[in-house]
Structure 1
């Protein structure tokens, strides 16, 4: 490995560890960042990302020079190009026979020089033999579709799993029977309802559609775009599993399907049953550190509910400014993964366990992709969800039952 890349990787890991330590300390103490912690966290993450960008630039430059050197060798009479591994591993070994490129001598050397500078007719490209270059590149940036705001995962504790299978304790009951006891009398027994459960990390994964290899050669942003979409899709799937998974392997045990959680019926509008759910949490001994989860439609209904008589919006003072996303002083997460007519109010003691690795791999060996010059990405990781205190969760009906 390039020694400079190795050094940059070490620095990136150091800054990432610093940021993680700050976040874990705040999570362990069940509080938000202090102003100094927030500044230190942002600074560490900025440095980590800066080092990763430098690594990406070095690797990109090395690839361009290697490709140009290979083509230059071809133009001067040698027989092979390769490897050309522009997709993070797995694509290599392209060969061409001697004499198939119709450029030699001065013209060939000039083209090789231009390729070494990363440009052909003003664009970076490496063309297959016998083709003509046309100035129809993809846009340098891929235009993305809008994405819903699924952020429940950011509101929960995330921890590395101790192994692919492990034990956890879940408290499904709390009967506190502490009371005055006369001398010689039997002391009352309190029940804490602990249950040991087995937790298994489950694989969440998907593959990209087959994509022409040369699209990646012609567009530097495409690989990052596809990987970002794939990772985003993995997070959306994980959020849905954390909320609604039925616990039957390979599904995760979701919060809504876990036994022992509390239930709050609908009353008059979205805001009222949410407030009643907060009371239920407080009664069960979960006084703070709550988060509310609503669908986009339910959050709109909560924001636009009007006070009786005055007609004023209850949650928003001025409709020209977006309200801070809180309801009854509790942060609100908007998630499209919730079933219709359902919301959640919960203590943030729910934990998402992971093997701490999101694996991104590229391949052209699926089906007949190699023959068709197509490539695909596979993205996967392993996760589990555990709610150690189901009484700290209230499932809220946000609409009247038909």
Structure 2
């Protein structure tokens, strides 16, 4: 266990060091982060926090093991470092069969009552039913530094919600009428189109299929695998909602269904259509900190487009190497959740994702007849809301010509 903790600590330190290097570089040059640096910094810190959460879980497990060992020693049963008996006999209120410690009698009941909350036979317990196994940070799977962001959620602003229901201001218009004014004349009025909207956190959740309990006891990695798969699935569902949710509860209000977003029709190809969308953002006052969202096939079309007359690929210098995922100097994320023929160019600060800030993971044997069949399930959930606070900071892009 100590080796595992040390390895996790090294990983956490590695990512915090990368974040610190980015900060020192920007400070040394007397400037703020670029959009790419901000994304890399946030990714490094999120990854470090993920490793720290794993360290906390392992340390808690070590304490339970130590408590179990100490208690067993007081009762009179010699145990190894995992809490398993060493003498192989049935004395002291315990019976041994097939490598497991079976508990019986008064001493066994006392030992069971002390360790049941966290351990079973010196192993991490998935139970008791309905008890949270661990709190998982909102973004547990952030891409390594030096690679493009994998999802739109990595690129957007994520904030803890102030409550289950709250108010947010949305700017649907910007009409700047500032102008020279002669003495005594009425000053012009600028319109900023602010609107107060009510926002509700909505539950996104799913459960795992029933899995034999002994699979978890025989495979130390299975619990982490199931948890990671389910958290990733939750993030995929959240991204789809952020993009396309229709706003009818319990659906989130998605970017594509928000009124007031700009629209860019298809021009000659994907890359040029996106470039025109960038111009629309700049014209509306959203000059930088953009992110482009494309479906995989549209990113392929943009990445492999050839410049007119030159025959050279526009987005890549060498087809044998994966390009940095940018178009017109703007980071690109790929999403299957977008409707076909649709892309987006977004000012990162125009869309905010709110949440409880923790994904809740719980393990249970109490669903249906799982207990009788010795099956275990996981439930993963959290609450989210999405707010397009500046619709003019979003451009919906047609990536194919209209028939």
| TM-score, normalised via structure 1 length | 0.73
Q: Aligned residue for 1:78?
A: 104
Q: Aligned residue for 2:395?
A: 394
Corresponding pairs, count: 332
Q: Aligned residue for 1:373?
A: 374
Q: CA deviation at 1:335?
A: 1.1
Q: CA deviation at 1:294?
A: 0.6
Q: How does 1:1-400 map to 2 (within 5 A)?
A: 31=35, 33=37, 41=45, 45=49, 48=52, 51-52=55-56, 54-55=58-59, 58=62, 61=65, 68-69=84-85, 73-75=94-96, 78-79=104-105, 82=112, 83=116, 84=120, 86-90=124-128, 150-349=150-349, 350-400=351-401
More strand by share: 2
Deviation track 1:361-385 (CA, whole Å, cap 9, x = no partner) reads 0001101111111110000000111
Relative to structure 1, the CA distance from residue 158 to residue 39 in structure 2 (aligned partners, 3 Å threshold; closer, same or farther) is closer
Give secondary structure in 1 for the equivalent of 2:307: coil
Relative to structure 1, the CA distance from residue 320 to residue 329 in structure 2 (aligned partners, 3 Å threshold; closer, same or farther) is same
Q: CA deviation at 1:48?
A: 2.5
Q: CA deviation at 1:89?
A: 3.2
Give secondary structure in 1 for the equivalent of 2:255: coil
Stretches of structure 1 that go unaligned for 5 or more consecutive residues are 93-148
Give secondary structure in 2 for the equivalent of 1:167: strand
Stretches of structure 2 that go unaligned for 5 or more consecutive residues are 27-31, 69-79, 97-101, 131-148
Q: CA deviation at 1:41?
A: 4.4
Q: CA deviation at 1:29?
A: 7.6
Relative to structure 1, the CA distance from residue 206 to residue 35 in structure 2 (aligned partners, 3 Å threshold; closer, same or farther) is closer
Looking at structure 2, the residues matched to 87 and 303 of structure 1 have their Cα atoms a distance apart, in angstroms, of: 48
- Cα RMSD (Å): 3.7
Relative to structure 1, the CA distance from residue 352 to residue 191 in structure 2 (aligned partners, 3 Å threshold; closer, same or farther) is same
| TM-score, normalised via structure 2 length | 0.73
C-alpha contact 1:150 1:336 (8 A) present in aligned 2: no
Q: CA deviation at 1:65?
A: 5.9
C-alpha contact 2:36 2:331 (8 A) present in aligned 1: no
Q: Aligned residue for 1:131?
A: none
Relative to structure 1, the CA distance from residue 341 to residue 203 in structure 2 (aligned partners, 3 Å threshold; closer, same or farther) is same
Give secondary structure in 1 for the equivalent of 2:297: helix
